[in-house]
Chain A
């Protein structure tokens, strides 16, 4: 564990800060606000229109940063299909944004980081995850983005998704564990070993990868308090498992700030000490969650998740949403400067700690416990993912028994049932994998074991 005690963890500070070009640091004593905007539908019709759109997003964000006096910010661009599929588009779009940010840095000294998040185009049933045309193009595009001036590269890889989706839809925790924890981890190693090698040739950091396609899918499917598609305790277990999986990027050399969307990042920060991006209450433009304040607790880069590129009453969305994350980061930075950081951290945490089981799990003292459970099993990707889920279960049950966390029958029944299944799983990865391989290739036509070397 990077921290001896969870109380050492606080927003804006990481054990291993990251410096990116244009003098932006993450985890070095201040929180950086982030904005991310999806290009307007239709602008992907040609390279020229998309490049113009990218430059416009960067310009609108940078000018608002200066207008409201932000010392630093991050602009993240999550690629649309065409941006990753055509490496030359990826290059031109990155260059257009880099030029804008450099111009503002030179003129005003506003520190800006440019993240390029490549799209994971790979599809198991269409050529597989390794060596397919899609896979090769991703690698080429990463390199082109580095050449064009990206400060860092992130991704949301999809390994294990076919099995995970099956598990979500049928309430099968073994499939969720196999999909995210085992297959996801294998694919992460493949993807991030290569990405780190490419980035190391340039002034570009290999940032990291969040389990958007897995744990976030679970959170999205679980929905709000009245959602009826997935139990929130099951979504919390999936999140704990995803921490063991997303950790692999750091083990491969990713430095952070870890990709937002990653509600699992608090757990990974506790283990590794790398800076993290997070989203919550200023991501209401993208989705509803039930822990909008809590996710600020140990953040280093505070994000809006994503928003359409369009006009709001307050201006274009790149400006409006950078303003939203910018003021929240300003509050955190003020707390740091006035010696109130831990008080604010605990207020953020306590606001949502018992609002929902997912918040209970991710409250930093509990996230730390899950991190410890993962570390106990070292590099065994199966056992550490299983241990993460079991510790998460303990955390939620303890809060329930202490009458701090209320659960519905569905949440409680699911938690008990899944815990009992997890406990009954074998203690050897080979046996677990053998069991899964007898079952899931038969049941899931889109699952391609070869994509995982199985």
Chain B
């Protein structure tokens, strides 16, 4: 009997269930989603700006920004239009309606349009705060760090990207230079993640303690990160801006460890004991 004969006879429901297909709701336009409706501007030119970001259409976003800037201030273009579009994208991503490529394309559209607005403004818009991000020394895997940087930038933070395979001393120097509200470190391997406690120790010894040192990546686990001061285990890249905002609001790394699920606003299995 062949595989296809089995396929005709077998009851797949007794073998597996594709829950992603089962739970999928009807297709709706992003702008009709109730959570998007809450943040989407109703008036022009802000609605067009936000919609271009939601659809990740760089060309349209840039054009919408140019048109809007003829009669609207650059800051309003950014805050009341582009940023609202990004808020909508975050909401769609959080509920599983949008996927990573959608959010990246939206971030690209927002960045391009924001550059047009900032050119008119004559300076970069004021950022919420600075975060320094690096990949541990000896580790070339940087997709996680790139996501963290993207989410931070999209949420209005200045993200200083130190790259991958970054020696500890370069991280220390960057903290000294930028005085970040948060430092993030990522690593894929167990033997490169040992950079994190070394960096934390060196920062403390030099009186450079940061409010939060968010650490994550393939082999990194919460118990390891909580074994050294300042460390907060970051579960998902898109949690990074929420942790940075918590730090900006005065939360310490100890507070953030305790309140992680509340701060990121969702169930987090890795912090189930802190729900």
Q: How far is the CB of A93 from chain B (nearest CB, A)?
A: 12
| Cβ contacts under 8 Å, B18 to chain A | 225, 355-356, 406, 408
Contact of A170 among B101, B137, B189 (CB under 8 A): B101
Question: Could you tell me the distance between the alpha carbons of A367 and B3 in the complex, rounded to whole angstroms?
Answer: 14
Q: Is the CB of B21 within 8 A of A408?
A: yes
In this complex, the member of B3, B24, B137, B138 whose beta carbon has the largest number of chain A beta carbons within 10 angstroms is: B3
Question: Could you tell me the distance between the alpha carbons of A220 and B27 in the complex, rounded to whole angstroms?
Answer: 26
Q: Is the CB of A41 within 8 A of B194?
A: yes
B108 on the A face (CB < 8 A) = yes
| Cβ contacts under 8 Å, B2 to chain A | 346
* Interface residues as binary, A385-414 with B (CB distance below 8 Å gives 1, 0 otherwise): 000000000000000000010111110000
- Also in contact, A354 and B104, with CB within 8 A (given A81-B191, A221-B143, A226-B20): no
- Also in contact, A169 and B101, with CB within 8 A (given A158-B140, A225-B19): yes
Minimal Cβ-Cβ distance residue in A for B164 = A123
Contact of B138 among A82, A225, A231 (CB under 8 A): A82
Interface size of B in residues (CB-CB distance below 8 Å): 46
A193 on the B face (CB < 8 A) = no
Q: Is the CB of A229 within 8 A of B99?
A: yes
Minimal Cβ-Cβ distance residue in B for A356 = B18
Q: Is the CB of B27 within 8 A of A85?
A: no
Minimal Cβ-Cβ distance residue in B for A230 = B100
Minimal Cβ-Cβ distance residue in A for B163 = A125
Q: Is the CB of A351 within 8 A of B15?
A: yes
Q: Is the CB of B146 within 8 A of A355?
A: no
Question: Could you tell me the distance between the alpha carbons of A408 and B18 in the complex, rounded to whole angstroms?
Answer: 9
Minimal Cβ-Cβ distance residue in B for A123 = B140
A88 on the B face (CB < 8 A) = no
- Name the interface size band of chain A: 35 or more
Q: Is the interface of B mostly helix, strand, loop or mixed?
A: loop
Q: Is the CB of B7 within 8 A of A354?
A: yes
| Cβ contacts under 8 Å, A346 to chain B | 2-3, 6
- Also in contact, A41 and B224, with CB within 8 A (given A353-B3, A409-B27): yes
B208 on the A face (CB < 8 A) = no
| Given pairs A43-B191, A221-B143, 18 additional interface contacts (CB within 8 A) | A38-B219, A39-B190, A41-B194, A125-B163, A158-B140, A161-B140, A168-B100, A169-B100, A169-B101, A170-B104, A217-B143, A225-B18, A228-B93, A228-B99, A229-B100, A346-B2, A346-B6, A409-B24
Identify the A interface with B (CB < 8 A). 38-45, 80-82, 85, 120-123, 125-126, 158, 161, 165, 168-172, 213, 217, 220-221, 225-226, 228-231, 308, 346, 349-356, 363, 365, 404, 406-410, 446
**27 sample A-B contacts, Cβ–Cβ < 8 Å, listed by A number:** A41-B190, A41-B194, A42-B194, A80-B189, A80-B192, A81-B191, A81-B192, A82-B191, A121-B140, A122-B140, A125-B163, A165-B143, A168-B100, A168-B101, A169-B143, A169-B147, A170-B108, A171-B99, A221-B143, A228-B93, A228-B98, A228-B100, A230-B101, A231-B99, A308-B190, A355-B16, A407-B21
